[in-house]
Each structure stands twice: as C-alpha cells, then as structure tokens.
Chains A and B, each alone.
Chain A
Amino acid sequence: MITHSSRKVKEGKIVKVEVDCEDVIKKLRITGDFFLHPEDVLDDIEKTMVGLKKDVSFETLVIKINDIVKNNDARMIGISPESIAEVLREALK
C-alpha cells in the first residue's frame, strides 16, 4: 500500500514522503524544497529505509539517518534527521 505524508518541518522547509509498505518498507521517495549537501546522500537515506519493518521506531529511523549523514559528512539545511523520521513515521501509520 502506498501512503503519503508531508509537512513544513520546524527547520523551515517542506518534506514529503511517499512510502510503499506492507509488512516492510518496499519503496520510499523523499521530496521537498530543502537542501542537502552532498545531494546524493538522499538516495542513500532512501535505500537504507527499504526493508525496515512498518512499525520501525522513530528513534531507529533517526539513528539510521544520522549514521548516513555522519558517514558522508553531509549537511542538511531546512530539514533534519528527526524531521525526516517524523514525516516517515507519520506516513507509516
């Protein structure tokens, strides 16, 4: 089932999540008007989420996104790992 969630997050930009999920996340698309350097890191974040269980916790999502950000020395502007995790969690409800 494909579900959506979107929100203007507290850091200022819009995050939209489209997720195809049954028991586990099959496909995920994150879009929005935010900035992320280097840009390719978003692909890594999306890929990492695939295979996670539908009831994955907010904390787990934040840890996973944070790991990718740190490993790539990435910088987010207008969003945060927590904001992405929040919108994804909402889409998974």
Chain B
Amino acid sequence: MRWRVIGLETHDAYINMALDEAISEGIRTGSSPPTIRFYNWEPGAVSIGYFQGIRDEVNLEVCRELGVDCIRRWTGGGAVYHDSGGELTYSVIAPAGVFPKNIIESYRLICGWIIRGLEILGIEAEFRPVNDILVKDKKISGSAQTRRGGILLQHGTLLYGLDLKTMFSVLNVSRQKITDKMIKSAEERVTCVLMHREAGREEVYEALLKAFTEDKDYGFGAWNRDELVRARELAEKKYKSEEWTFLR
C-alpha cells in the first residue's frame, strides 16, 4: 500500500476537520489514497470530542473574545485547545484493515510513530492507553480515532509550546479529572516539546515526518479537486453549523 503524505499546512478548524472527513469518504469510494497529513490551526481553536457537551467543556464567551474557533470533532475523546503556534497536528486515514483490529493496539501503533518522532528529537516518551503519550508522566500528545465505513481515521496533537493561560481560559477543565489523579493543578498534567528540548517547529515537524514515513511506501501528494470541494462543503454545511456544534 502506498501512502500519500500531505506536508505541513495551515487551515482553520472547519477546513481541518472537514478535510479529514472528505479523505475518509474519498478512500471509501476509491477516489482518495491512504493519507498522512500534518497541519496547524489558524486561528487557534478548541475542538471537543464527538460525545462532549460544548457548554460543559468550552468557555464560549472567552473563545469569542479571543477569536478562538470552537468545533465538534468527528472523533470521541476530550476537549483540546489548538494553539496556532503551540502544537503540531497529524491525521492518519486509511482502510481499517491496515491496522490492528483491537482499538488500543491501533492507537499504540500510530502513537508509536509520535513516540519515535520524539525519540528522534531526544525526548523519551511512552504510550499510555487509551490515547495519550506521556513524557515523565505528563501528557505531551493526545489522539482520537473513529472507524466508519471501514475507514480508520486517527488524528492527534503534539504539544510544542504551552500557552496555559489561554488553554485554561478557553477550556472548562474538569475538576473530577484533576482530583482523581491526586494533583493540585491542571498545569502539572501537561508538558510540551520546548520544556524538554530547544527545537524549532520545523525540526519537530521534520522529526514527525521521518517517524511517520519510516519503512513505508509513500509519496508527497496534493489534494484532488473532489476532496477540496467536499471539504469546503462539509466545513460550511456541517462543521460550522449550530446543529453540529451544539449536538450535545
């Protein structure tokens, strides 16, 4: 199987999530190849898991004030603040049969590529099921997966820098989650690349690119016209709609 790799791009939240869904549809109908993509979010955005209540998780007023977009993902999992300059995001989209049937094992496989990327940067990290990657017991990366119509989509983020002030002003951090882990502050739960290594964003991207493509048959590619048309349609009609955003 040959992978298409789409190098680092920057889009808004709606196009980013719509592209993932458009590729999934394309693979299902045979018009898109299995794809690995890397991307930034501009403007910054909060994404929430498919099952989350947006009012529970997001301080919508602060988001409006700061110009931070809010989007419901197609995947489950938790709320994430996507800082424009503070993270790198990836998506892996391919027929589910390419990956282990066991969901945790498929997370372990793809998260292993991020761990390898961090290793290239000299940072030792470990997979923590279900969907986290930790460095010295602090979360540096989270991922989320869906399998629909025989296609696996996993996307996730690697924290490069931390703007904790903005992160905790736009997210309603769950007190239960904090209490359960017996820690006083949410800040103590997360870390980022820059806390371990003074690497430029480009260097981090190159490390991830190398790790994700190692031992794979791949080629750099571009979006086809159908994917772009469909992504724009999904962005406008689905991901920007109140019906979708306030689904729960």
Binding site for B on A (CB under 8 A): 6-8, 12-14, 16, 29-39, 42, 75, 77-78
Contact = CB atoms under 8 A, between A and B. Distances in A.
Nearest to B48: A33
Interface stretch (B81-89, B174-182, B203-211): B174-182
B56 A35 contact: no
Is the contact region of chain B dominated by helix, strand, or loop, or is it mixed?
loop
A6 B146 CA distance: 24
A32 B57 CA distance: 9
Given A35-B103, A77-B130, A78-B130, A29 B53 contact: yes
B130 A38 contact: no
Contact of B56 (A13, A16, A34): A16
A72 to B, nearest CB: 13
B144 A35 contact: yes
A33 B52 contact: yes
B174 A12 contact: no
B180 A35 contact: no
Given A31-B51, A39-B51, A14 B176 contact: yes
Contacts of B176: 6-8, 14
B64 interface: no
A31 B52 contact: yes
A33 B103 contact: no
Is the contact region of chain A dominated by helix, strand, or loop, or is it mixed?
strand
A33 B53 contact: no
Interface string B43-68: 00000011111001000000000000
A83 to B, nearest CB: 13
Contacts of A33: 49, 51-52, 76-79
A8 B76 contact: no
A30 B131 CA distance: 21
A47 B178 CA distance: 32
B147 interface: yes
B196 interface: no
Interface string B127-149: 00011000000000000111110
B159 to A, nearest CB: 17
